[in-house]
Every structure is written in structure tokens, then in C-alpha cells.
Structure 1
Amino acid sequence: MLKKFSWFCLMVLSIFILTTPAAQAGKANDTLSILHNIELSSVDNYFNTDRLGVVLCHHIWDSLLYRDFKTGEYKPNLATSWKYADSKTLEFDLRQGVKFHNGDEFDADDVVYTLNWISDPKNGVKSQQNVNWIEKCEKLGKYKVRIKTKKDFPAAAEYIAGVLAIYPHKYYAQVGPEGMAIKPVGTGPYRGVEVVPGKSITLAKNENYFAASPKGKPSIGKIHIRFISEVNTQIAELMSGRADWIWRVPMDQAEKLAKMPKITVETADTMRVFFLHFDAANKKGRNSPLNKLKVRQAISHAIDKETVRKTLVKGASQIIHSACYPTQFGCTDDVVKYEYDPAKAKKLLAEAGYPNGFEMEYYGWRERPEMEAIMGYLGAVGIKAKIQWMQYAAVRDKIRAGEVDMSHNNWGSYSIHDASAFTGNFFGGTADDNARDPQVIQWLQIADTSIDPEVRKKNYKLALQRIAEQAYCLPLWSSNMNYAYTKELNFTAQPDEIPRFFNASWK
């Protein structure tokens, strides 16, 4: 009865919205209206870790290379060719005739400045894992550069293609991260028109986008992104025609939207992995119960992951056992698997000194229904978990400060198809590493830097097996992504969770 009432309320809300002044959206205005549920902390590509930031990276900026999502091949983008001079040196010939959105000409100075600036720890780039492998970048000519890596780094091309946006050096030196966050400037298929912090971002087609780009020429004139946290409001906006495209739609809502004649619903698995992140290292010396292995193992046995996946996550999602996504290089599921066994969970708790369980806080910012289900499973074995629901950035900062016992975390690896982007990020001694296991860190350092694929696989496997044995985290499932959009739109979702609006068009 409650679900029927909620859907009826959505219908009423959409009718109400229709009576309010219409926002510019849709084919008639050549403006794609997009809704996103989390406010972006910064539009600057290097100062946010939200998925929307990755999406904007591919639309506003370009990288030296581009990874073809269909073939996995690296294609020339701002670079026209590249080669390894030796195992720690890459040389790139740069594309001539490319201009930034502000009219500045692109050349080697922009590449050298960008890569040297972001790889300097003093500048505080949010995801150090993405940049800390760079030793330096050198100019060899106006259209030629050399990138030196600190160690052998076989995944360099993957990171260069995925997350290393090139900035206009004169502009960025003048305005810095704060200025780039308000008025972003790149070479990409869309240019920033307006950024209203916490409310909206407006992009316009780059009419002068270089024809040789593997991304192709954009078709849609404008993209207007608004931040609306409530999914019911998002759905009402879509149903009323004030929005054209939404994602992260709960499965029960997606199933209803799929029956509506003017809306297309698309479901896809993604590289995003949800996991319980434990403070196993006791970073702040709080002597939390989760510092004990048997407690972490008990939690891992207490949760019926498959039932939660089937009833709440649904769709194309899959159960994950390792701290990585299955298609990433080096990932393996040949690890300890924690089957649902509440009796064993209670036994482990008693052995750990908590026969009557304990109380704890459980932090999260996505998947509230799934968190509530997990809270119920924990309660059944005596663990009273209280949900602390916050914005992502707030939870991230508390985790890094060692103030969170357990969080409902998730990671899309920046769509990097290499285990270093997940396993290395959370267990390689970074700010996000809540295990701080010297042996795991050593294995990951070898895996991340060896140029021998078999050595890499062997050491990732060793690290992943120990992570599972020590229950440093509990991988849950991959994210099922439900997209809902107007039938006037040609759009195709991809498993790397990067909607490519520069390839979309109106019907």
C-alpha cells in the first residue's frame, strides 16, 4: 500500500511541477537536462573524487590518450603518437592546431605544467594514487614531451587516458583550483558556461572541437546539470519533462518508469564496487572492536549478501569477493569467501570478547536501503549499528582521520581497468588505507611497478588473498546502474560508468 501511495505522490508531484515555469530542457531547446544526486565539491578535475567529476573530465577536458571503451585500445587524443624510450620513460608527439576554450593554443608547455603541478604533493590533489607515479614531465620541443615515472609503471597509459586532463598552463597558473572550479577551461567537446556551486553546471558544445579527436564531434548543443538529492523529486522532474536524463534510479522505481511510454530505462552493471570499509589499523588509537580480526570476520559472516543483492540491488549487479572489479588487470576471486553464517558470526564475536555484541556507528552516503538491511543482519547477531548519513566528502574526511569504525563505501576506480586503481588506492599505504599492512603494501608496490604481467598478477593475488583473510574490508556487490531518460534521446550506457554525452544525440 505504501509503495502505491508513493508512486501516486510522484504522479501528483510531476503534475505540480508541470504547472510551474518550465526549465529549458529537451530537444526543442537543444538542451540536455541532467540530474545528479550529490553536490560536486569542486569542478576542478583534480579536486573532487565524485563520479560526476570523472564524467566532466571527459567532457570539458582531454587527455593525451583516449581509451576506446569498445576495444580497450589506446588511441591518440592530444598526443598523435607515443613510445617507451625505456621502462620509465614515455615520449609523446603532441597534436598541433588545438585550442583551449579561452582561445589559448595547446602545446607542450600545457602538458609539462599540468603533469608537474598535479604530481607535486604540496598541491594537494585529492586522489594521489592517480598522479604519484609521475617523477616529472619534460619539454622536448613545442609539440613533444617526455614523462618520467618514479618506478616502472606498466599501467601508465591507462591512467593517462583515464584521468589526466591537460589544463591551459597560463590560465591555471593565474586562477588555480578555485578559479578552475568556477570557470573551467579545457580543450574538450564541451566548454563550461556557468557553475553555480551546489546548484548547477551548464556546458555548451565546443563548436571548434578538433575533428581528429577519437571522442567525435558533439551533437547536443547544451548540457544543464542540476543537483537534486531526492530520487522522488528527480523522477517527478523526468516525468514532467523538466529533466531529460537521470541515473542511480532504485530498481523498484526503474521498473515502474520502464512502463511509461515517453521514458527509456536502461540497466547495466558497472565497475563500481560496494564494500564495508573497516578501521582495522586503529588509526586514531580508539581501540574499536573492529580492530580485532574475529570481529571483522563475524561481520563478514553475519550478512546475507546475495539476498540483499537480489532483493534491493537487483539488475545486472554481481556479488564481489575481492577488493577489485573482476575485469581489472590483476583482479582474482581466488580468495577467502565469507558465506552467510550467523551462528558462526555469534561464535566469533564471543571468542573476540563480545558475547553480547556491541554498539557502533555505520557511516554512508549511498544505498540507504541496503545499509538498513545490513544493519538488520548485524542486529541479529548482537551488533547494534547506528547509521550516520552524510555527504560523501564529510564521510571521506572522517575515514581518513581515523574517526570511522565502519563505512558503507564504494569505488568506481575512476574507470581505470587495472587493480592498482582499487586495491592500490585502499591498501597501498595511501590516506584511504585503513589496514596499513606492511606485507600487503610491499606486494602492491611490486604489482604496481613490475613490467612483467605474470609478476604483477602473482603479487596482486597475494595481496588480495591477505586482504580477504584479514577481513580488512568486506566486498559486497557491483553497482547496478539504472538510467532513465526521454525517448527523444539517443544514448547508450557503458559498464565503465562514464556516460558519454558527446556521443549522444536527439532523435
Structure 2
Amino acid sequence: MRGEDTYWTRTTANRVSRRAALRLGAVGAGGLAAAFALACGGGKEESKAGTPAGGPAAAGTAAPGEQPRYGGVISQRLPNDPDRLDSHQSTTYVSVWPHAPCFNQLVQFDPDKPQNRPDEIIPDLATSWEQPDAQTVVFKLKQGVKFHDGSDFTSEDPKVQIEWIKNPPQGKVSPRKAALDAISKIETPDPLTLKLTLSRPNPSLLMNLASHYFTIGQAKDILANGEIGPKLIGTGPFKLKQYERGNFIELEKNPNYHIQGRPYLDGLKFFIVRDYSTALTNFIQGQYQLFYELQFVPSDGERAVRESGGKVEVVRVLSTLRDVLFMNARRKPYDDIRVRQAISLALDRDAAMKVVKEGAAKRGGYMLPGGAWAISEQELRQYDGYDKPNIDKAKQLLQQAGVSTPLEAVAWSRTDFKPYAEFVKDQLAKIGINMNLNLADTATSQPKLQQGDFDIGPWLIAINVDDPDAVFAEIATSNAVRNWSAVKDPQLDALFEKQSVTFNVEERKKIVQELERKALSLYQVAVLYFQELVFGRAKTVRNMTFHSSLYTNRRMENVWLAQ
């Protein structure tokens, strides 16, 4: 790659601080370069707009001279039971948050930095990594790591876990298998070395491996159970103590954690409370130290600060979470692009951001708005519906497609997506589409979309990182696990493959933007906006940085509670 304007050459010159280089520096110059070369991509620094004016920083910071304190349990709320405790099979934070503290990944994003950039990837179970050539990655693994049951962590464990993600057993779902498609061979030269051979260059590999969706389970459990298993035996700072379905999930401190002096907390507790109003009241009254909910909008945050007597604070971070509408092309009339285009035209995105999210959102398409890859907002607005709604044109398109109205449409969504789903229902009624809306928990509603048993699906999609491979391989390509609209296009697939092997960052960006344009022109989904995540935090919480992704920095090993 010598002489090219690669991501590594630019970030070395412009963005890698001495501290970051030292934290990654165990790999040496060649390995550090490989780390960034593998992870071409990026995102925006968190701006002041990411937090309310005069509000707190993304991290709960200690007072001058304040030292970390051991003990205490942090409680938080989940809106329902996880569909699975094994997050490798799930697509929701409800599964990831209780899972992540029990495990580690090969690599991780710097917990102190909210935007999950490729130059913020640091060691985890891998102490170093190098890339001898464009299609080989060698990880050196940490010595002395133990699983919760006392058995040794070796290279066999990530080997078996990666093989599971790539080729899950029959009856198991692996939503992110496409992210590891480039891995053609996995070798374990010794117990502390993992060698990955790629069928093609893959600049996104480390970006994906750094999220909690790629935690490393125990090989013997995976082979025995066909998955990680219900006991969540990992190498992480916490271990599963008790799970009472419909009530709570409780984790306790792992006294033999491989990082000396961690974790600070004695445990974590996740209370399963379905009713949002009840949960918000519980947070205000101090029953939870951390709070997040899709319905937690800025006015509720202001209420929490006010009614708690200033004991809590609220943080907003622009995220990779987007509100989308799936339209099932397996069924008529949604196989007609004019119908999908009409639906996009009916959706008032400005009203959606104002009504559903109280302004805590930003207009976007497939890639994070303002990030390293997205087309400009000016260009995005050229696609029908992404600027202003046009009810007359939408009705004309339906008429041209031979659709008689009123059109009855079966819709499925999650219970906690209700405000967004009801907004969509109201919008589509304006063009004569009557949405028969069914709301249920994840375990009931998501299979409806997966199996194509729906017409319209208002849903929230949170991709683990702002990376083209992660985004398009999950929701847009013909083989994408969450291409629930079932709109398939060979030109889109070809563009995806082309960008996925392109290391030169400027060339890759051009291809990614062409790919985004193609996806938008198909009206495969209608994207209404990207959410700002609104988090609540008790002021006693220290060293908890909220990331732009719901799937990073949830291990909690560095978090502590002040008195």
C-alpha cells in the first residue's frame, strides 16, 4: 500500500495521539499500521451538539483528587426479557447489555471515546495483531486468562466462536455472519496465537470484531450446546448470578478477572420493567443508576433532572440507531417500486423528528449523517420523501401501480417502538393505506419480519458500527440477514463487494456513496432519521462513557460509584 493515500497514512499524520499510539503500541509499527489498514472508515468527533447546551460530558467524570471506589451495584432497566442471552444470535441491546459484561472480544473500542473510530481500536483478549500481507491477520493472545469456570482461555476459543458466527448450527441464527465472510481459514499455531486467512482484503474486519456482537465464548460450551449456553461462561469482569424471567437479571463480580483491580463494582442488576412510565418514575426515585429507553425523549430527561432534585443528568449522543420502514416485496403490491416510493413520499421526516424524538434526531439515509461515508444531506433530499412529503405524488404513484385504496396492510412492530409505529400508521392513512398495527415483544414480533409474515414493518435498526460492511451486509444486500423487505439487486451486491475489498479510503468512499445512492433509489426501506441516544445517569456514576453505538462499552469493568 506504499504511496497510496490510505486511512493509516492520513490518521498517522493527523489524528493518532501519543496516548492512543502507546495504548496500541504493543503491536509495534507494522502491527499498528495493520490495525488501521484493516479498519478503514471513521466517524465524527462528538460535538457539543451531542449533549444539551451546558449539559454534562459523555463520561461521568470524577472530581479532582477523587479516587476509584470499590463496591456497590449499578441497576438499570430493560423493557423486556432478552430474546436470547447469547448476543451472537440477537439484534437488540436488550440481549447485549446483560451479555457483554460476562465476556471479552479480541479487540475493543476505547471505552473513553464515544464515536467508535477505527483509530480507537485497542487490545482486549488480543494483546497485539499484525498483518503480514493484505489477506492475513495474526493475533497474539493474552496469557493467563481464565473462564468463569476456571478453565484456560486459548486460541481454540476464538477459533470455534468465529467458526460458529460464520456457519451456525442448523436452527441457530447468526445475523452478522456476512461480516466475517472474508475469513476463509482459521488456524491456531499455538495456544496464544490466532491466524486468520482472508479470501479477499477486508478493511472492515477489526471494526466489526471490536463490538460486543463478537464476544468470545468458551469452545467446549459452544461445541456442547450449539451456542454459548445459558450460563454465560465467559472471561469477562462479571458472571451470571441469577435470571428470573420477567423480573431481573443479576450479574456478580468475577474475583478472578484477568485485569488486576477490576471490576470496581460488586455487580450489575437489570430489572425487566415493561411499562415505560413506571420505569421512568423508578429512575427519578433512584432505583436505577443508569437509564435508557427508546421513548426517553428530551422533555422526559428534563423532568428526571427536575424531579430528582438534580441527582441525575442526561446525555445525548448521535448514534447509529435509525428508524426505518420495511415494505415486504414478497407480497403485492409492495414488489412494485412505485408503491414503496409512494410510501416514502407519505412520510414527513421533519414531523417525525419533532413529534417522535422531540428533535433528538438527524435526517439520514443508510450511513451515519455527517460521518465518514454518507452522501451529503443536500443530495439525500433529492430522493422522494427525504426532503418533504408529497401526498399528491404518492397517490398518483399508487394509482399508476394499479393499487386501489383503501389498502389494508398487516404491520408488526415491537411494543417499545410504539410511538414511531403509530406515527407511521397516521402518515400512511393520508394516502389510503390502513395499517393494522400489531405490537409485541421482540420474541414475538421479530420472527414475523424474519419470516416475511407482514406487509409493513416499522422498526428500529441499530448497526454496531458506522461501517459500510456492517450496514449493508446486515440490511441491504441480497443475502443480508435483515433485508426483511426482500428487495434484491445485483448491481447493489456488486458495489458492496467492490467497496469491501478497497483499501484506499478515498476510492472506497466514492464506491460506498455510489452504493448508498443505489440503495436509496430502490426504496428498499424508508429511513426516517438517525436517533440521538438519550441516556440518564445518576451523578454518583463515574467513568461511564456513552458511545454512539448501543453495542460497545457495555462491559462496565471501569465504572464505579461515588458515595
Q: Which residue, out of 483, 487, 507, partners 2:539? A: 487
- Tell me how far apart the structure 1 counterparts of residues 88 and 239 of structure 2 sit (CA, whole Å): 17
The DSSP-based 3-state class of the residue aligned with 1:476 is strand
Which shifted more, 90-99 or 311-320?
Answer: 311-320
Equivalent in the alignment of 1:219? 264
Report the Cα offset of residue 499 of structure 1: 5.4
Q: Are 2:353 and 1:314 aligned?
A: no
Aligned residue type for 2:558? N
| Closer/same/farther in 2, CA of residues 393 and 153 from structure 1, 3 Å limit | farther
Q: Are 2:343 and 1:343 aligned?
A: no
Calculate percent identity across the aligned residue pairs.
22
Aligned residue type for 1:45? S
TM-score by length of 2: 0.78
Q: Which residue, out of 497, 505, 509, partners 1:457? A: 509
Which shifted more, 137-146 or 325-334?
Answer: 325-334
Residues 353 and 360 in structure 2, CA contact (< 8 A), matched pair in contact too: no
| Closer/same/farther in 2, CA of residues 293 and 170 from structure 1, 3 Å limit | closer
Q: Which residue, out of 301, 306, 310, partners 2:345? A: 301
Q: Which residue, out of 76, 90, 105, partners 1:34? A: 76
Q: Are 2:318 and 1:273 aligned?
A: no
Equivalent in the alignment of 1:496? 549
- Deviations along 1:39-66, whole A, 9 cap, x unmatched? 2121123222211333345421111111
| Closer/same/farther in 2, CA of residues 73 and 29 from structure 1, 3 Å limit | closer
The number of residues matched between the two structures is 469
Report the Cα offset of residue 28 of structure 1: 12
Report the Cα offset of residue 268 of structure 1: 2.7
Equivalent in the alignment of 1:204? 252
Q: Are 2:424 and 1:374 aligned?
A: yes
Report the Cα offset of residue 309 of structure 1: 0.6
Give me the CA root mean square deviation.
2.4
Q: Which residue, out of 295, 301, 305, partners 1:254? A: 301
Report the Cα offset of residue 155 of structure 1: 0.7
- Deviations along 1:429-462, whole A, 9 cap, x unmatched? 2232221112111211222233343443233222
Report the Cα offset of residue 392 of structure 1: 2.4
The DSSP-based 3-state class of the residue aligned with 2:215 is coil
- Tell me how far apart the structure 2 counterparts of residues 436 and 417 of structure 1 sit (CA, whole Å): 22
Q: Are 2:292 and 1:237 aligned?
A: no
Report the Cα offset of residue 347 of structure 1: 2.0
Structure 2 unaligned blocks of 5 or more? 1-68
Equivalent in the alignment of 2:25? none
- Tell me how far apart the structure 2 counterparts of residues 394 and 131 of structure 1 sit (CA, whole Å): 28
| Closer/same/farther in 2, CA of residues 448 and 397 from structure 1, 3 Å limit | farther
The DSSP-based 3-state class of the residue aligned with 2:318 is strand
Report the Cα offset of residue 328 of structure 1: 5.6
TM-score by length of 1: 0.86
Moved over 4 A (4+): none
Equivalent in the alignment of 1:77? 124
Residues 194 and 202 in structure 1, CA contact (< 8 A), matched pair in contact too: yes
Aligned residue type for 2:141? L
- Any residues of structure 2 matched to 1:168-183 within 5 Å, and which? 168-177=218-227, 180-183=228-231
| Closer/same/farther in 2, CA of residues 204 and 447 from structure 1, 3 Å limit | same
Q: Which residue, out of 196, 201, 216, partners 1:147? A: 196
**Higher-RCO chain (CA-CA 8 Å, sequence separation at least 6):** 2
Report the Cα offset of residue 171 of structure 1: 3.6
- Tell me how far apart the structure 2 counterparts of residues 422 and 203 of structure 1 sit (CA, whole Å): 31
Residues 331 and 419 in structure 1, CA contact (< 8 A), matched pair in contact too: no
| Closer/same/farther in 2, CA of residues 452 and 384 from structure 1, 3 Å limit | same
- Tell me how far apart the structure 2 counterparts of residues 221 and 292 of structure 1 sit (CA, whole Å): 56
| Closer/same/farther in 2, CA of residues 266 and 60 from structure 1, 3 Å limit | same
Q: Are 2:167 and 1:120 aligned?
A: yes
Q: Are 2:104 and 1:62 aligned?
A: yes
Equivalent in the alignment of 1:186? 234
- Any residues of structure 2 matched to 1:297-446 within 5 Å, and which? 297-320=341-364, 322-326=365-369, 329-333=372-376, 334-335=379-380, 336-337=382-383, 338=385, 339-354=388-403, 356-365=405-414, 366-414=416-464, 416-430=465-479, 431-433=481-483, 434-446=486-498
Which shifted more, 127-136 or 182-191?
Answer: 127-136
Q: Are 2:525 and 1:473 aligned?
A: yes
| Closer/same/farther in 2, CA of residues 488 and 395 from structure 1, 3 Å limit | same
| Closer/same/farther in 2, CA of residues 298 and 435 from structure 1, 3 Å limit | same
Residues 183 and 194 in structure 1, CA contact (< 8 A), matched pair in contact too: no
